[in-house]
Structure formats: C-alpha cells, structure tokens
C-alpha cells in the first residue's frame, strides 16, 4: 500500500496533460544535449519514466528525444544513466518511421541494458546482424577483454535464441557450437589466484592456486563443471563454463530443426539396426564429427559428469540445492540429446536408470525425478523397460505426500499438461490418478486452477466420470481433511488445536477413519462415493470458513462446467442416465457453505437441462428419479434452481412426441405429483428457516401442469380448477405464499393465459406441445404468436 505522499505523486503523474508532457520532453532534450549530464538530467528522466509508466494509455516520445536517449544508452559510461534511459525507452514504442535499427549503432559497445532493449525492440531484419555482433564478441579469448562483457552477451544471446532462433545463420551456429565446446570441456582445473594478509607480516602474501575440488572437499580428478568448488575463486574460463552450461540446453533446443532431427533419427535407425551397432556408432572419435554433433557429444559428457558428481555428499546445504538444480538440467539435456539422436538412448539409459534407482526413495529429490519421468516417457518404449514404478511414484507418492509443495505442484501439473497426449496413450495410471491430483487443487486452488481447467477433460472417461463428479463435489471436504492431516502431523495428539479441535477429534476417531481414508485415497476404483456423506459434512462443519476450504469451494463451479462439457463428448445415454441420478442425489448432499450450495445448484440445473435437451429419452429413463425429486415439496424451497428445471423438463419432454414410451399413466402420475406440490406451496407459508417460495417455481409448476393436461385432455378440468382457485385467492387479498404484489400479478396473469389456452384443447396442444423438430412460434418474440395469445386472453376476459 502506498503512503499518502506516494499516492499524491502518482495521481499527479496520471493526470498530467499531453501539452505539459511535450514541454517536459523539450526540457529533457536540452539537458541531454549538454556536456554535463549530471543529477538534474537523471532526475528529469526518472520523472519522465514515472509519467510514462503510470499513464493509462501509451504515450510516444518525440522522435528526436527517442533517438537521443537511445544514443545515450549505447554510448554513456554512467550506469545510472543507462538504467534510467533504458527504463524510459521500454515504456514507449519507437516513433512511427523511426523504428529501432541496430545497424546505425553497430560500432558502439553494447552494455547489458542496451542489449536488453535491443533484443526486446529490435526489428526482425536487424536481429541477424545483432546476433552477428554478439557472436563476434565471443570470438576472442576471455583474457583479451573484460569478463563482464561476455557475461552480459551470453544472456542476451540466450534471449534471442528463445524468441527467434531462426535469425542465426549457419556460420553463426557453427561459431557458437565451437565456442560452447571449448568453454564446456576445456576450462582450467586450477583455482583462481587470491591475496590474503597474515597476522605477522604487514604485506599481502600471494597464495598459489590449487586444484579445484568436488563439493565434498576432495580434489577433482576430471574436467571442470559447475559442481566443482574453488575456495580461492573461479578463473575467467571457469565462469564462462558456468555461463555456457546455462546456455547449452536453450541452444540445443533452438538449433534443432524438427524436420532435420527426425530425418537424422530415421536414417540412423535404418543403418544401425541393432543395439551393438548403435552403441558402436557413438564411440567414434568426436573430432571426426561436425561441430553440431561434437557439441552434442560434449553435452552428453558434461551431463554425465554432473550426474557422477551429484553422488558426492555436499558439505553445505546450498551446494545440495545446487546439485539438484544441476541434475534437473543434466537429465533434460540427456533427454534432448536422445530425442535428436535415438542411437544415444542405449548409451544414456543405464546412467538415467541408475540415477532413478538412487533418488527414488528420497522424495526430497522430487524436482529431479520429474525430468527422469519425462525421459522414461519419451524413450522407455524404445528400451522396453517397465515404467509402471515411475508413474506410481509420480502420480502416487508425489501428490499424496507433497501436495503442499507449491514448486512440485507447478512442475508436476506443467509436466502433465505438456505431455498430456502421451500420458493418455501410454500411461494407464494417469486417468485413475485424479483423486491424488485433486489434492493439489484442494490445497491451493487459485494457483493451480488454470492447470486443472486444461487437464480435467483428459480425466473424464466412461469409467471415471461418475467418481470424478463425486470427487469434485467433495473437494471442500478433501481440503479440510488435508489441513487436518498436516495439523495432526505437526502437533502432539494431546494438544488442542483451537478452532479445529472438534474436526481433529473426529479425524483421530477410529470410528470415522474410513470416511477420511476414502477422501485421501491415491487412485480411483475403490467406489464412487461413501454412504455416510452427510455424517462427514457434520464432522467437518467447523471447517466451512477456513480459507483453503472456501477457495476450493469457489473453484468447483468453473471446473464443473469443464467437466460436463467433457462428459457430453464421451458419454452414452446409459452414463448420462447415471449422472442425472447422481446430480439429483448430490444436490442435497453438499458441504454446508451457503454460497457454494447455491452456485452448485445453478450449475447442476443448467447441465441437467442440457442433457435432457440433447437426449429427450433420458426423461422417460429417469422418470422415477425425476418424479420423486419434483414430488418432494421441500425441494421447492431448498433447491429452487434444480427443482425449477426438473419441473420444466417434465413438462417439456414427458410426451409421446419426445419418446414413444411415454404413456398416459406416466403423464397422469406426474401430473398428480406436481398438482399436490403446487397445492401445498400455495396453501401455506414457507417452513421455518426457509425463504418464501420463489414465483419462478410457482409459474413453472403451473406451466408444466398445463402442458401435461394438453396431452391428456381428461386432466384439463383439474388444472383449470386449480388455476381458478389460485386466481380467486390472489384477488381476495394478501396471500402467505407471496409477499410482493408484482410477483402475485405475474402469477395470476400466467394462470389466466394458461386457462385461456386450455379452453381450446387443440390450440393448447399445438402451443404447449409442439413437434420436437418444428418451430417454437410461441417463444419467438419476432413473430405475432405471443401477441395473438395475449389478445386471446383479453377477449376471454371480456366475454
């Protein structure tokens, strides 16, 4: 939150007019033309940056000032001036006709701020000359120029490769391949020299540089890598080795042409038809290979050396984290090397397999095991290895035990999204792992909601759809259970946990243990839901206002829409019938968060109606469940949205035109159930604790009864009598079931319109039960039928 002074300053910057900005730019232009670019110039540029960054619409600098600031950025030796000039230029686009052109500044030294701006704004045609300039700065030895210039150049080059790898020419690629080979393989194995003062002598004594060490303190016996230690400091070529390692994988990815790589892989597979030939093909001298292939070989050696070094016990905790980070990068490099050259798989796989065997028991290496899983996914079929233990670890232990690790959640869900197609076709455990994956969503739904929106359709199959729906609706309970599980692990059993005391007692109680174990299951298939769901909601009642539980509840409506959209594409009518039963049942078995219940009812009612519109025969198939739901008066009060749509569905699709199986007996049974409900809700006040009956519910019941009567004319007198009683009761004075006069008028008007229609049974049937594939004239506001109906109603009242 900003202070009052800061808010005032920002408001002034936002409200400044264009004319004032123009005057201020002219002032800055005069300041920058002087020889002394002092504090006043920097202060003015900072104010200009504030104005540009707080403006609601983009502003454009005068062309002359823009060119002057770019010149200062490239030529000034004052770093503070470079920073502020770069910041100003990033907040504005180049003036029309004065696009950023690298060629006019090709002779200027490029500092890191200039490089960042050029990479982000330089035109496409100038990217290749810029890359050429960057690569030319790498041609000399590190000792011939300042090291910091190279450490600025390599990140800028990496940024170019990430966004536009095609801007490098073949000569550029060859040069970069050679430089990376030299930096990766031939860095010095001696520590950098240093000076230190000792107690007796007044002058410094120069220490003789010693050999680099491993992270466990032993002397390194192989070439230098980023996992080598140097207590006296690194030499320049060792720093370049580290920078080259960070650039290696982006460069391999950027320079790999998909067509060339696949063609090369096919050629090698045809020539090297056996394991022996594949292994022997990789053992030839790397000096006989082209620079691109030599770099691939050096990348393999470097990654293999890192994996060997990671087996050493680091003396510092920070070095242990460095080992993990390097292992992640090393395995990804090996995976890419094998993707480019399939003959390398048999050479690399034993190393990766041994690494998996060493790390898999320790979940502290989960971030490393994910790239290993990716390697198994990409190359496991080729070496015919059993991958099931890998996926049991990734989709089993990881979410079950590390659901509260935000880094792992991001990495695992990102990995799943990236390789979704392969996981669906190759990993049988994936679609049955949703109870475990949902733990990430239950723990921190805002952070992973976008991931699950993409992943959820892939988890919906005919075999998992019903259980997945239950799991989504139970997400708040899962969230509360995960919180209790962590609290119980972090506090003694005898310790009371404040507000969560009752929940913790229930969680510890052996009698309720089965309820919580079902929520914490690691895979699907043990049952769709639990019988004592209402009891579980009672046990977790005090968790209804916990922040994580509330967040989980807020995510469910969005995910339900995604779920039902996916279900429609995979489900047959039998599965949809089963889902309708579940939707009706679960509308009354939801965790007691009022806003959550209301939103879920709205979503369920929408998709219930959608299912029946797609497959009208579902209404007859599920007539017993639908009639039982609609015939329960309490549902009209507590489940208004679902009840209203169920009543509308019965009136719209329970007809012989929609399904030949619909009999007169079924229509009569439905009519009698709804007639009793309408009579009950209009003859008494709402039950204690319930809101008054919604007018929409009453009008839906009235319309449905009229529709059913139009299909069985024997019922017309009964519905006409009921509607007449409603009209008489409304005209007699206030009624207990409707408190607003406007609503009462609307209800009476609807009843009169329906009575008018039912006086002409033939017209009523054509209007209230039109052919399923025919036009619905009475609903189209652009035609005269609605007006004619109202006119008919008026005439009926007059005569």
> pLDDT, tens digit, for every residue of 218-259?
888 888 999 987 666 788 888 889 888 988 998 888 877 533
Say whether 316 sits in a helix, a strand or coil.
coil
Q: Which two tokens stand for residue 208?
A: 């003789």
What distance in Å separates the CA atoms of residue 241 and residue 193, rounded to the nearest whole number? 18
- Straight-line distance from the first to the last Cα atom of the chain, in angstroms, rounded to the nearest whole number: 71
How high is the pLDDT of residue 200? 40
Tokens of residue 527, six digits: 């049952």
Residues with Cβ within 8 Å of 564's Cβ and at least 6 positions away in sequence, in order, are 603, 607, 610
Q: 77: how many CB neighbours lie within 10 A of its CB?
A: 8
Residue 196's DSSP bridge partners are 205
Q: How far apart are CA 756 and CA 797, in angstroms?
A: 9
Tell me the mean pLDDT in the region 716-732. 86
d(CA 48, CA 13): 9
What are the Cα distances from residue 284, in Å, to 135, 293, 303? Answer: 30, 12, 19
What's the whole-number mean pLDDT along residues 48-58?
77
Q: Average pLDDT, stretch 329-353?
A: 94
Dihedral sign for Cα atoms in the order 364, 251, 181, 124 = negative
Tell me the per-residue pLDDT of 419-440, one tens digit each, with 9 for 90 and over: 999 999 999 889 999 999 999 9
Whether the per-residue pLDDT at 637 is higher than 60: the answer is yes
Name the one residue in this structure whose structure tokens are 């962590």. 486
Q: Is the pLDDT score of 575 beyond 50?
A: yes
- Check: CB of residue 441 under 8 Å from CB of residue 468: no
Q: How far apart are CA 171 and CA 135, in angstroms?
A: 10
Whether 247 and 179 have beta carbons less than 8 Å apart is answered as no
- Structural tokens at position 282: 């990789």
d(CA 404, CA 132): 47
Residue 106 has what pLDDT? Answer: 53
Kindly state the DSSP code that residue 191 receives in the 8-state scheme: P
**Helices 640-653 + 695-711 axis angle, to 10:** 20
Residue 265: pLDDT over 50: no
Burial grade of 746 (CB within 10 A; 0-12, 13-18, 19 or more): middle
How far apart CA 44 and CA 65 sit, in angstroms, is 13
- How many CB atoms sit inside 10 A of residue 772's CB? 12
The lowest-confidence range among 49-58, 92-101, 368-377, 697-706 is 92-101
Rounded to the nearest integer, the mean pLDDT of the chain is 83
> Which ranges of 256-310 would DSSP assign to H, the alpha helix?
258-271, 275-281, 291-309
Q: What is the mean pLDDT of residues 311-317?
A: 87
Query: pLDDT confidence of 798, banded at 50, 70, 90?
Result: low
| String of DSSP letters for 613-650 | HH-THHHHHTHHHHHHHHT-HHHHHH-HHHHHHHHHHH
Average pLDDT over residues 668-694: 88
Higher pLDDT, 135 or 665: 665
SS3 738: strand
Most confident residue range from 172-176, 662-666, 772-776: 662-666
By the 10 Å C-beta count (0-12 exposed, 13-18 middle, 19+ buried), 782 is classed as exposed
For the ranges 41-55, 195-209, 368-382, 477-491, the lowest mean pLDDT is seen at 195-209
Distance CA 547, CA 525 (A): 30
pLDDT at 612 over 90: yes
pLDDT tens for each residue of 156-179: 777 777 767 777 788 888 888 888
What percentage of the chain has pLDDT greater than the value 90?
Answer: 45
> Is residue 170 classed exposed, middle or buried when 0-12, 13-18 and 19+ CB atoms within 10 A define those classes?
exposed
Paired with 206 in beta bridges are 195
| Count of CB atoms situated within 10 Å of the CB of 577 | 18
Q: For residues 81 and 360, which has the higher predicted lDDT (pLDDT)?
A: 360
Q: What average pLDDT score do residues 381-392 get?
A: 91
């Amino acid at each position: 939150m900003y202070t009052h002074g800061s808010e005032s300053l920002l408001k002034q910057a936002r409200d400044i007019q264009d004319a004032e900005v123009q005057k201020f730019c002219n002032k800055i232009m005069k300041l920058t033309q002087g020889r002394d670019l002092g504090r006043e110039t920097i202060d003015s540029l900072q104010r200009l940056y504030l104005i540009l960054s707080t403006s609601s619409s983009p502003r454009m600098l005068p062309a002359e000032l823009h060119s002057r600031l770019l010149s200062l950025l490239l030529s000034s030796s004052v770093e503070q001036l470079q920073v502020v000039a770069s910041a100003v230029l990033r907040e504005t686009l180049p003036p029309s006709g004065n696009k950023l052109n690298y060629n006019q500044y090709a002779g200027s030294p490029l500092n890191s701020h200039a490089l960042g701006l050029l990479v982000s704004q330089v035109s496409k045609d100038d990217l290749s000359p810029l890359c050429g300039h960057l690569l030319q700065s790498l041609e000399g030895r590190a000792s011939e120029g300042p090291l910091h210039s190279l450490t600025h150049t390599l990140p800028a080059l990496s940024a170019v490769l990430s966004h536009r790898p095609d801007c490098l020419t073949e000569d550029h690629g060859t040069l970069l391949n050679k430089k990376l080979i030299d930096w990766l393989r031939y860095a010095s194995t001696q520590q950098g020299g240093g000076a230190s003062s000792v107690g007796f002598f007044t002058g410094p004594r120069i220490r003789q540089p010693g050999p680099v060490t491993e992270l466990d303190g032993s002397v390194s016996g192989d070439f230098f890598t980023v996992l080598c230690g140097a207590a006296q400091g690194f030499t320049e070529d060792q720093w370049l080795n580290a920078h080259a390692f960070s650039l290696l994988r982006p460069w391999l990815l950027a320079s790999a042409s998909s067509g060339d790589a696949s063609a090369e892989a096919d050629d090698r597979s045809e020539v090297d038809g056996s394991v022996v030939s594949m292994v022997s093909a990789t053992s030839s001298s790397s000096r006989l290979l082209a620079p691109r292939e030599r770099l691939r070989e050096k990348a393999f050696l470097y990654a293999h050396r890192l994996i060997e070094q990671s087996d050493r016990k680091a003396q510092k905790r920070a070095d242990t984290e460095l080992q993990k980070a390097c292992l992640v990068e090393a395995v990804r490099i090996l995976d890419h090397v094998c993707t480019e050259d399939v003959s390398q798989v048999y050479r690399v796989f034993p190393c990766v397999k041994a690494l998996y065997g060493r790390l898999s028991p320790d979940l502290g290496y989960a971030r490393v095991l994910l790239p290993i899983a990716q390697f198994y996914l990409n190359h496991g079929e080729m070496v015919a290895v059993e991958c099931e233990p890998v996926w049991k670890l990734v989709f089993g232990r990881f979410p079950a035990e590390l659901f509260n690790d935000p880094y792992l959640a991001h990495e695992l869900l990102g990995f799943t999204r990236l390789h979704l197609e392969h996981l669906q076709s190759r990993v049988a455990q994936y679609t049955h792992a949703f109870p475990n994956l949902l733990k990430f969503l239950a723990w921190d739904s805002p952070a992973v909601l976008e991931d699950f929106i993409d992943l959820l359709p892939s988890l919906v199959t005919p075999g998992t759809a019903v259980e997945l729906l239950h799991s989504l609706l139970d997400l708040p309970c899962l969230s509360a259970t995960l919180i209790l599980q962590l609290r119980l692990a972090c506090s003694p059993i005898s310790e009371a946990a404040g507000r969560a005391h009752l929940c913790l007692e229930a969680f510890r109680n052996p009698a309720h243990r089965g309820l919580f174990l079902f929520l914490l299951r690691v895979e699907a298939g043990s049952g769709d839901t639990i019988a004592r769901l209402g009891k579980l909601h009672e046990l977790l009642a005090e968790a209804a206002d916990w922040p994580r539980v509330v967040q989980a509840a807020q995510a469910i409506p969005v995910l339900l829409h995604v779920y039902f959209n996916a279900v429609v594409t995979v489900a047959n009518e039998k599965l949809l019938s089963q889902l309708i039963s579940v939707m009706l049942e679960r509308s009354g078995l939801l965790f007691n968060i009022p806003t959550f219940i209301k939103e879920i009812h709205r979503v369920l009612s929408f998709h219930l109606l959608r299912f029946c519109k797609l497959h009208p025969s579902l209404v007859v198939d599920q007539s017993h469940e639908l009639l039982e739901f609609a015939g329960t008066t309490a549902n009209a009060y507590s489940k208004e949205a679902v009840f209203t749509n169920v009543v509308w569905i019965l009136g719209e699709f329970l007809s012989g035109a929609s399904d030949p199986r619909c009999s007169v007996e079924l229509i009569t049974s439905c009519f009698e159930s709804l007639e009793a409900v309408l009579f009950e809700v209009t003859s008494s006040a709402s039950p204690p604790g319930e809101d008054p009956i919604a007018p929409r519910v009453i009008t839906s019941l009235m319309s449905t009864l009229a529709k059913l009567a139009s299909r069985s004319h024997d019922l017309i007198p009964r519905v006409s009598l009921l509607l007449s009683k409603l009209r008489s009761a409304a005209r007699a004075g206030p009624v207990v079931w409707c408190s607003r006069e406007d609503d009462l008028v609307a209800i009476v008007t609807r009843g009169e319109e329906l009575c008018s229609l039912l006086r002409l049974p033939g017209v009523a049937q054509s209007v209230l039960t039109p052919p399923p594939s025919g036009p619905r004239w009475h609903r189209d506001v652009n035609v005269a039928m609605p007006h004619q109906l109202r006119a008919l109603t008026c005439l009926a009242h007059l005569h």
